[in-house]
Structure 1
Amino acid sequence: MTYAVNQNDRLVVHIEDLTHDGSGVGKVQGYPLFIPGALPGEEVEVKVGKTLKNYGFAKLLTIITPSPERIEGPCHVYPECGGCQIQHLTYEAQLIQKQKTVRDAIDRIAKLPDVPVHPVLGMEDPWRYRNKSQIPFSERNGQVVSGFYRSKTHHIVDTDVCIIQSEEADELMAMLKRELQILGIDAYDEHKHKGFLRHLVVRKARATGELMVVLVTARRKFPEAEQVIQAIKRVVPDVTSIMQNVNTQKTNVIFGNETLTLYGKDVIIDSIGGVDFEISARSFYQVNPVQTETLYNQALNFAQLTGTETVIDAYCGIGTISLFLAKQAKEVYGVEIVPQAIEDAKRNAALNGIDNARFETGASEDIIPKWYSEGKTFDVLVVDPPRKGCDEKLLETILTHKPGRVVYVSCNPATLARDLRILEDGGYKTQEVQPVDMFPHSTHIEAVAWLEI
C-alpha cells in the first residue's frame, strides 16, 4: 500500500498542533505525522518511522525554525521521563494550548461553537505542586535505582529529583536508595517477582504540613524496619506517619490489601477551602491541592447555591466536592461505587461537623434512580466522572428526571464534549466551560461545565 510518506523518509514538516500526549502534528499531502518534541509553528526535519493507513510517526531530527515559546525543560531527566510531556513549552503557552484543546473538543464533538470556553485558570507557581509521589524502586546491575517510568514502559529513569513533587519526596528517595544498599535490602524486580521494596509513597498535606511515608513491600516480614524508620526521621524529623503496605501479588498495581503503622498516626490531615480531610495511605485525594480548591470553587460558583437546594454529588469519592457544596446547600447526597471511599466521606463529614451530607455506596446509575423512586427531588446535580465520562444509564437518568442545573467536572475534554452533546439533545443548554490546569507541564486538562434545563 502506498502512503504520502514512507518509512525512513527524511522530510521537512510544518507543525500545526499538539496531540493529547504532547506530540507535534505535521501533515504531508494531508497525511498526519506525530512527532514527539515538536511544537506548533515550528519547521522541523524529521525521519519517518512507523506508517499506518491514516497517520504515521516520525522522529525529530532538527528544529529549523523554533517556536518563540520553546524553552529548555528545567528537569534534567525530562526528555526520558514520562511524567511531564510539555516542559519545553512556556507555561503561558501551555495554558493557551490547553484552552485550545477544550475549545476544539466542544466545537468538534459537542458541536457547540457558541458556548464560551474561558481562558485556563493556571498556577502562579507551577512547580513542586504534587502532594503525593509514588516512586518505584528496582535494581540494575547490582545497584538500587528509583525514579519514574519512561513513557509507555516500566523502565525506571533513575533520578533523585522531580521538580513537580515535594522536596521531602526527593530527599527520601535519595536517602532510601543509599540506605537499601547499606542495609542489604533488595529492591523489587517485577520481572523476577523477587526483592523487598517495591515503591516509596510520600504524601504531604499542604495546609498542615503533615507528612506520611508509605513503604510498599513485597512481603510482611521487615527485620530492618527500625533502622529504616530512624533513617526517615533523620531526613524528615517532623514526619507524622510511617506506614508499611504489603503487596505480595505479581502485579503492576502499587498497593496491596494490608497496611501496617510503623510509626506515628495512620492518617494525616489536610484542608481545602476550610474543609478538613483525613488522608490514609490508600485514600484517593487530588494531588494538586492549590488547583483543587480553584476547581471546586468553580464548581461551587456554577452550582449557584443559596442554601435552599438539595444537591446530588455523583462519583463523590471521599466527599471532597460534597463537603464543599454542603456548606452552602440545604442537603447533599453523595454516591460512589468504592465502599472505602464512602467510609472516608462519612468520616470527613463527621470531622467537619457537617450533618447535611448523606453518602451511599453503589453505582450512580443505580443509586440515583432509587433516590428518585423514594420520592426525593434534586435541584442541582454535580458529576465528576472518571476519564471515560458518565455512564450511559446515568445520562438517561439525568434526562428522565431533569434536575434544573448540572455542573459537570471533567478530566477529559473528549468525553466531556460527548456527554454535553447527549445532554443538549435531551433539552439542556450548556452555559459556559471553565478549564482549570491541575497538572502543569503535562497535557492533562480539567474543565467545569454548567448546564441549565
Structure 2
Amino acid sequence: MKLESSENEMAEEQIRILEKNEYVDVYIDDLSHEGLGVGKVDGYTLFIKDALPGEKVKAKVTKTKKRFGFARLLEIIEHSPHRVEPPCPIYAQCGGCQLQHLGYEEQLRQKEQQVRSQLTKIGGIDLEQVKVHPTLGMSEPWRYRNKAQVPIGENEGGLIGGFYRQGTHDIIDMQECLIQHEANDEVIQKTKDIAQELGIRAYDEQKHSGLLRHVVVKYGFYTQELMIVLITKEETIPHKEMFIEKLRESFPNLKSIIRNVNKAKTNVIFGEQTKVLWGEEYIYDQIGDIRFAISARSFYQVNPQQTKVLYDKALEYAQLQGHETVIDAYCGIGTISLFLAQKAKKVLGVEVVPEAIADAKRNARLNHIENAEFAVGEAEKVIPWWKAQGITADVIVVDPPRKGCDEALLETIIQMKPERVVYVSCNPSTLARDLKFLEDGGFKTVEVQPVDMFPHTSHVECVVLLQRQ
C-alpha cells in the first residue's frame, strides 16, 4: 500500500500545474461530455471551448484546479478536417448548442466514442464482449425541437427574447433558432411584438419587477397544433383579451393559450398556478401509432422523430412475444409504457410525479390501451412493494433522469431477476456506473445503441440491452 502511495505521489509530481493567464500550445485529442476540447500540457489536462479533436491550438489558461484546468481558445494552429462554419449567427454567444462547429457525421462518431469511453472507464465493461453500435443520427439534423422555453427581457429597444449567454443569465435576443421548429420562432417573435405593442413589461430578475418572465411554445409535429404558455409574475395581464385576440389572429392552428404564474424570486421557470386563458387544456401529437395529450406542464420528448427511433429500439431489445409482464420505471406520461403495451401482456408503470401519472392514464384511455397500469411513487419503493405482492416481471425498462437509477432500485431489479433489462439513458457516465452494478448482480450487458436526440449539442441518449446470466 505504501509503495502504491509513493508511486501516485511521483506521478503527481510529474504533472506541472499550469498558472492562470499562462499561454500554451495544446494538441486536442478528445471531446468532453460538455463538448469541450480536451488536451494535455506536461501531463496537465485542459478543457478548451470550441477546440476540436485533431487540432493544435494556442490558448490562454483561465482557471486551474489540482488535476485539470480551463483555457480560452486564441488561435487554431492546425485545423481539424471536420471543422465547419456554424450556420447560426449567435452561436458564439448562445449556450444552447455546443457542436455546430463540428461536421454532423463527426458529431455522431464522437458521441459513440463518448459512450465507449464511459463504459470502459467507469463501467469497466469489456467492449470486446459488448456490441456498441454507431450513433443513429438524423437525415435532417435541424429544426427538430417541438418545444421552446424562452426568457423575456428588455433593452433600450424594447422587449427581447432568446436563450442565455453561456454561463450567465444575460439574454441573447434572437429572431430564429436553427434547432427549433420554425413555428416556435414565429410564435416567440409575434408574442414579443404583441406584448411590446400593449405596453407589457418584461420581468427583471435583479429587481424582481415586471410581468412577462418566459414564453413557452409547444408544437405537435404530427398534428401541427400549437400551445402558447405565458409565464408571468402576477395573475393579472394588462389588455388580456386583446393579447389573446391578436395571438389567435396570428396563428390559425393555435389550440391553447395558458397562463402560468410564478411569483417567486427563482430561476425555476414554472410556478404552481396554471390556468387556461383560451382554448383547450391539451394539444395532441403522435409518435408512431400512439397519440399523446400534452399539457402545459407535461414532459414530452422534444425530438419526436428520434423518439420514435429510440422507442423502436427499446421495443426491439425488450423482445416481447405477447405473454410478458413488463415494469416501466420512471414512466413519465407513459410514452415508453404505451409502446411496450402494444406487444406485452401487461405493463406496469411507476413515476414519482402525480401529474405525469394522471397524463399516463389519460394517454392510455386516449389510445384504448387497457393492459397498462400506472402508480404514483418512487420506483425504488413501489417496485419492492409490487414484488412483496407476488408481482414478477419478465422485462424491466428504466429511463431515469441524468443522475441515473437509485441504488435501491438496481438492487430490486437484481432481486426480481427479470430475463431482460432495457436501460434508456441520457447520461453515459451514470449509465456506465449503473451497468457495472447490474453486471455485479448477475446481468450481462449485450448491446448498446447510441441515439442522437439532440443534434449540435453534446448530449447523447442510449438504449442498452442486459440479459440475466
TM bucket normalised to smaller: over 0.9
Please give the alpha-carbon distance, in whole angstroms, between the structure 2 residues aligned to 1:310 and 1:171.
45
Structure 2 equivalent of residue 219 of structure 1: 234
Q: Quick check: 1:202 aligned with 2:202?
A: no
Q: Deviation per CA, 1:33-65, whole angstroms, max 9, x where unpaired?
A: 111010000011111121211111111111111
Please give the alpha-carbon distance, in whole angstroms, between the structure 2 residues aligned to 1:83 and 1:414.
21
Q: Structure 1: which 5+ runs fail to align?
A: none
Residue identity opposite 1:440 in structure 2:
P
Structure 2 equivalent of residue 358 of structure 1: 373
- Structure 1 residue 142: Cα displacement: 6.3
Structure 2 equivalent of residue 246 of structure 1: 261
Please give the alpha-carbon distance, in whole angstroms, between the structure 1 residues aligned to 2:329 and 2:193.
45
Say which of 296, 309, 331 aligns to 1:316.
331
Q: Deviation per CA, 1:72-101, whole angstroms, max 9, x where unpaired?
A: 111111111110001000110000000000
Structure 2 equivalent of residue 35 of structure 1: 48
Structure 2 equivalent of residue 83 of structure 1: 96
**What TM-score comes out, normalization by structure 2 length?**
0.95
- Structure 1 residue 375: Cα displacement: 1.0
Please give the alpha-carbon distance, in whole angstroms, between the structure 2 residues aligned to 1:27 and 1:76.
31
Number of matched residues? 453
- Which residues in structure 2 correspond to 1:49-88 (within 5 Å)? 49-88=62-101
Contact 1:336 1:360 survives alignment (8 Å):
yes
CA RMSD of aligned residues (A): 1.3
Structure 2 equivalent of residue 274 of structure 1: 289
Q: Quick check: 1:430 aligned with 2:462?
A: no
Structure 1 outlier segments of 4+, above 3 Å: 1-4
Q: Structure 2: which 5+ runs fail to align?
A: 1-12
Q: Quick check: 1:293 aligned with 2:308?
A: yes
Say which of 107, 111, 131 aligns to 1:116.
131
Say which of 21, 32, 35 aligns to 1:22.
35
Contact 1:86 1:443 survives alignment (8 Å):
yes
SS of residue in 1 equivalent to 2:58? strand
SS of residue in 2 equivalent to 1:156? coil
Say which of 108, 112, 120 aligns to 1:107.
120
- Which residues in structure 2 correspond to 1:130-209 (within 5 Å)? 130-141=145-156, 143-209=158-224
- Structure 1 residue 292: Cα displacement: 0.6
- Structure 1 residue 140: Cα displacement: 2.6
Q: Deviation per CA, 1:186-225, whole angstroms, max 9, x where unpaired?
A: 0001111111111110000111111111111111112311
Please give the alpha-carbon distance, in whole angstroms, between the structure 2 residues aligned to 1:375 and 1:180.
57
**What TM-score comes out, normalization by structure 1 length?**
0.98
- Select between 126-135 and 141-150 the one with higher mean Cα deviation: 141-150
- Which residues in structure 2 correspond to 1:354-433 (within 5 Å)? 354-433=369-448
Residue identity opposite 1:73 in structure 2:
P
- Select between 228-237 and 126-135 the one with higher mean Cα deviation: 228-237
Q: Deviation per CA, 1:373-423, whole angstroms, max 9, x where unpaired?
A: 111111000000111111010011111121111000000000110011111
Say which of 10, 15, 19 aligns to 1:6.
19
Please give the alpha-carbon distance, in whole angstroms, between the structure 2 residues aligned to 1:69 and 1:142.
39
